[in-house]
Amino acid sequence: MGRNKPGKPRRPRNRVPRQLSLEELQPPGEAYDEWFQVEPGMDASRIQDPRVQGDALDMMHRLARLGPLYDYKVPKAAIFLDTVIDTGHLAVLEGPVDADVGRLIPIQDIATARPEFSHDGIRESIHRLHAAAALLVVTDEQHDVPFVRFVAKKPEQPGGEWSFIGDPDLVASTVCMPGEMWNELPLDVAAAVGFIRASNARLETADPAVYGTHNGVNGTKHARELFAAAHASGYVDYKGCEACPAGHLCTRTGKDEE
Amino acid at 109: D
Give me the DSSP letters along 64-78. HHHGGGGTTEEEHHH
How distant, in Å, are the alpha carbons of 38, 53, 56 from that of 50?
21, 7, 11
Domain boundaries, the chain: 175-258
Amino acid at 241: C
Q: Which is it for the CA torsion 188, 30, 139, 177, positive or negative?
A: negative
- The answer to whether the beta carbons of residues 127 and 81 sit under 8 Å apart is yes
Task: Identify the pLDDT of residue 95.
Answer: 62
pLDDT in tens for each of the 258 residues of the chain?
Answer: 445 555 555 544 445 456 788 999 999 988 999 999 988 887 656 665 555 555 677 888 899 899 999 999 999 999 999 999 988 888 887 666 555 566 777 777 665 555 666 677 788 888 988 988 888 998 866 666 788 888 877 888 887 888 887 665 543 344 566 667 777 888 888 888 888 877 776 667 888 998 888 767 888 999 999 999 999 988 887 765 544 443 444 544 444 444
d(CA 123, CA 182): 15
d(CA 224, CA 132): 17
- The answer to whether the beta carbons of residues 123 and 83 sit under 8 Å apart is no
Q: pTM for the full model?
A: 0.62
Task: Identify the pLDDT of residue 252.
Answer: 47
Could you tell me what percentage of the chain is helix, strand and coil, using 3-state DSSP and rounding each to the nearest 5? Answer: 40, 10, 45
Q: Which residues lie below 8 Å from residue 152, measured CB to CB, with a gap of 6+?
A: 163, 164, 165, 167, 170, 171, 174, 175, 176, 177, 194, 198
> 3-class DSSP state for residue 52?
coil
Report long-range pairs for 227-230 (Cβ below 8 Å, ≥24 apart).
Answer: 227/192, 227/196, 229/186, 229/189, 229/192, 230/189, 230/192, 230/193, 230/196
Secondary structure string (H, E, C) spanning 165-184: CCCHHHHCCCCCCCCCHHHH
